[in-house]
Chains A and B, each alone.
Chain A
Amino acid sequence: MSLAKVLLVDDEVPFVETMVKRLSRRDFDLLTAYSGQEALEVMEKEPRVDVVILDVKMPGMDGIETLKEIKYRYPLVEVIMLTAHATVETAIDGMKLGAFDYLMKPAEMDQLVDKVKRAENIKRHKEDRIAEAQAMDIYHRRGD
């Protein structure tokens, strides 16, 4: 099985750089972006992203906007929101918009890894179900 492809989006450059090193060490295939816009561009080039770790507060297009756009374009991709100040309101907003989970900075590495893995599993599970459904579809069509 191939490594999970994780896209890390945050405007804090040193944070991204270190996290990439740490997460790569834990067997993830890492992509990075420093803004919401850049994240969408990266995903366009590399559609096989499994999980996005997304900062909420970023200049320009913020995390919530980016989340909406990602979920609209790639509904299967799971998004974990990462924020330095979680309010109930933004948490509710994020979850309503389909975020997988919500983590607060500084996050525990073990916890983050665990969440990414779970998000990836769910994505794979959904993909399998769709593949199944498509197979059925084809079968029925051939039947008639």
Chain B
Amino acid sequence: MKNIPSSLFGTTGKFFSLILGLSLVPVLITCVFLYYYDYLETKNRYDTLAKQNAYFQAQNLNDLLSKIRTDLQLVADVAETRIHDLEFIKQVIGGYAGPQVTVSGMAVVTARGEVFTRTGQTPTAESIARDMELREGTRRKESYAFLSRVNGNQWNMVMVQRMVADSDTKFLKAFIPIENILPVISLPGAFLARWSALMDHEGQVLSLSGTWSIDEKLYQDYAVQSFERERMVQAGIRDNGQSFQLFMIPVAQKLMVLGLAFDFHDFTTNRQPLGKAVILSVVGWTVILMLVSFYIARKGSGYLSRREVRLQAMNEQVVEAGKMASIGELASGIAHEINNPVAIMVEEAGWMQDLLEDETELAGTKNFEELSRSLRQIRQQGRRCKDITYKLLSFARKSDSRVQDVDLNALALEISAISEKRAKYAGVKINMDLDPTVPSIQTSATEMQQVFLNIVNNALDAMEKKGGELNISSKKDHEGIHFWFSDTGDGIPKANLNKIFDPFFTTKPVGKGTGLGLSICYAIIQNLGGKIIVTSQPGQGTTFHIQLPCPQKHVGIKTESG
């Protein structure tokens, strides 16, 4: 547009303005279309995102509770070994802090309903005993859960695990304040629900968070509906200027309903000024105004694509989270389906090897050697399949990691010490610049070790040929805890950059890497509510930036004295 020769305005001015005037019509149509298309598209995407987000939170909640359940089983397994030993049991249950500080207290109760021991914030002895009476009917079950008001006010989910040893039955009870649950299940980085609530089967709110209050008339029916149908209920609601998408999802094995409301209004009105601006400028009369409208339309579509990119990123994040969960479920199925045929192949090869041993007259011939080598290779490759599937399984099994205070700086030093030999061999110098104010966090030491080790190993791999420097630094600021691992290797090609966290993605030669390392890191960091940001300059190097939230105020479980 800018390159129109000025002479044209003089000689063919009329003709030119006619052309431009005519071209106004399609431009106008395009603008209206773009505006409307953008609106629909935005609405659509928003809808999907909200649904995925709601589903993810419900899944997170269920995962959290099943993790606690598994933990309780383990605690009970240990406690059962010395069931009469009060001191021992005290130690065992005192040593357990729930994931993300959701369990506020625990108690061991005898079959007669008497409190054997308790730690942390538990209800009064009478209240515990009363709960036992209430649940008399379900006593035969190994484990169960119910809702209860602790000391008459705070709603708790009580998980009970039955312990039987030496014909003595005791019950291990964990108290999970419902209000502790909502803050830890939201999806980091995604937009937040304006209203989230955990409700009982009648739609009575047990715990509430968010910036909105919604009249209970508007959601209670939906909560009951979703509870009865055992499925997610979605509703678009408009009331007194409030416009929102409501989701109701039964959670915690039909004990509660998770309700979420997302602000749809906000999102769509954001779009309108741009659309109006585009239309207004397009209906402007002068050529200059028309050029401007062209410009704005272009800018508009630029803005659109930026929006799309942003939405896409959010979308990907949600999808990614979903993908992780289903890989976990898939892993055991895959392991089973692969290991069975592989076992048959390995055994057949073994059988051929057995038979070859009988062929004494063949021994020492060239073909005999070749056959033996070939059979050995089959067995070795079988073992490789097994390794991969069991790695996959360990990826799926997140729950068997003990949570403890982990000093991340010390861990980084430890990892660099472990890697020193390899670094020396690869001609790599490791520099450390650690911020001493970085606090310890509550996590699994082995998991964090795995994250650091994987990233350091990747960096060393990248510099293996030419050598270089690996700079490890940490910092604490208002955003949280940061760790940077910068190498001076070849960098990651742009095309691969967004794939490196995908399971099974690897650039290493066949048999060298399973392509699970970084996706495991990603899953671990994501579990902690943090993120990993990778920046890479081909030819210059790569930086892995791990960002973790600062530990929240610690609601520890202390052993009750006396």
The B interface, classified by DSSP as helix, strand, loop or mixed, is helix
A61 at the interface (CB under 8 A from B): no
Contact with B along A7-46 (1 / 0, CB 8 A): 0000010110011011001000000000000000000000
Check B397 against A106 for contact (C-beta < 8 Å). no
Docked CA distance A106–B336 (Å): 11
Check A84 against B336 for contact (C-beta < 8 Å). yes
Kindly report which residue of chain B lies nearest to residue A84, judged by CB atoms: B339
Choose, from B94-102, B346-354, B537-545, the stretch at the interface. Answer: B346-354
Check A106 against B346 for contact (C-beta < 8 Å). yes
Check A18 against B347 for contact (C-beta < 8 Å). yes
A107 at the interface (CB under 8 A from B): yes
User: Interface residues of B, CB < 8 Å — how many?
Assistant: 28
Answer whether A92 and B77 are a contact pair too, CB < 8 Å, given A22-B347, A106-B382, A107-B343. Answer: yes
Within 8 Å CB of A104, what residues of B?
339, 386, 390
Within 8 Å CB of A92, what residues of B?
77
Check B383 against A106 for contact (C-beta < 8 Å). yes
Check A106 against B342 for contact (C-beta < 8 Å). yes
Docked CA distance A106–B342 (Å): 7
Docked CA distance A22–B344 (Å): 12
Within 8 Å CB of A85, what residues of B?
332, 335-336, 339, 389, 393
Contact with B along A89-106 (1 / 0, CB 8 A): 100100000000000111
Docked CA distance A57–B335 (Å): 12
Docked CA distance A12–B347 (Å): 12
Q: Which of A98-125 contact B (CB under 8 A)?
A: 104-107, 109
Docked CA distance A15–B344 (Å): 5
Kindly report which residue of chain B lies nearest to residue A22, judged by CB atoms: B351
A88 at the interface (CB under 8 A from B): yes
- A12, A22, A88: the one contacting B354 at CB < 8 Å is A22
Within 8 Å CB of A57, what residues of B?
336
Docked CA distance A12–B400 (Å): 31
Q: In whole Å, how far is B77's beta carbon from the nearest beta carbon of chain A?
A: 7
Q: Which of B330-379 contact A (CB under 8 A)?
A: 332, 335-340, 342-348, 350-351, 354
Check B389 against A18 for contact (C-beta < 8 Å). no
Within 8 Å CB of A18, what residues of B?
344, 347-348, 350-351
Kindly report which residue of chain A lies nearest to residue B399, judged by CB atoms: A88
Kindly report which residue of chain B lies nearest to residue A55, judged by CB atoms: B340
A2 at the interface (CB under 8 A from B): no
Check A109 against B393 for contact (C-beta < 8 Å). no
Q: In whole Å, how far is A87's beta carbon from the nearest beta carbon of chain B?
A: 7
Within 8 Å CB of A14, what residues of B?
344, 348
Within 8 Å CB of A89, what residues of B?
70
- A15, A25, A86: the one contacting B347 at CB < 8 Å is A15
Q: In whole Å, how far is A35's beta carbon from the nearest beta carbon of chain B?
A: 15
Check B354 against A25 for contact (C-beta < 8 Å). yes
Within 8 Å CB of A84, what residues of B?
335-340, 343
Docked CA distance A73–B385 (Å): 37
Q: In whole Å, how far is A143's beta carbon from the nearest beta carbon of chain B?
A: 33
Most buried by A among B77, B351, B400: B351
Check A106 against B351 for contact (C-beta < 8 Å). no
Check A19 against B335 for contact (C-beta < 8 Å). no
Within 8 Å CB of B335, what residues of A?
84-85
Docked CA distance A107–B558 (Å): 45
Docked CA distance A67–B439 (Å): 49
Kindly report which residue of chain B lies nearest to residue A107, judged by CB atoms: B343
Answer whether A15 and B343 are a contact pair too, CB < 8 Å, given A84-B336, A85-B332, A106-B383. Answer: yes
Q: Which of B423-458 contact A (CB under 8 A)?
A: none
Docked CA distance A19–B347 (Å): 7
Docked CA distance A21–B349 (Å): 12
Between A and B, 15 residue pairs with Cβ closer than 8 Å are A12-B343, A12-B344, A15-B344, A18-B347, A22-B350, A84-B335, A84-B336, A85-B339, A89-B70, A104-B390, A105-B339, A105-B386, A106-B343, A107-B343, A109-B350
What are the nearest 9 A-B pairs in CB distance?
A: A84-B339, A85-B335, A106-B343, A105-B343, A106-B346, A18-B347, A85-B336, A84-B336, A105-B339
Residue ranges of A at the interface with B (Cβ–Cβ < 8 Å): 12, 14-15, 18-19, 21-22, 25, 57, 84-89, 92, 104-107, 109
Known contacts A84-B336, A106-B339, A109-B350; 18 further A-B pairs (Cβ under 8 A): A14-B344, A18-B348, A21-B354, A22-B347, A25-B354, A84-B335, A84-B339, A85-B332, A85-B339, A85-B393, A86-B390, A86-B393, A87-B332, A89-B70, A104-B386, A104-B390, A106-B345, A106-B383
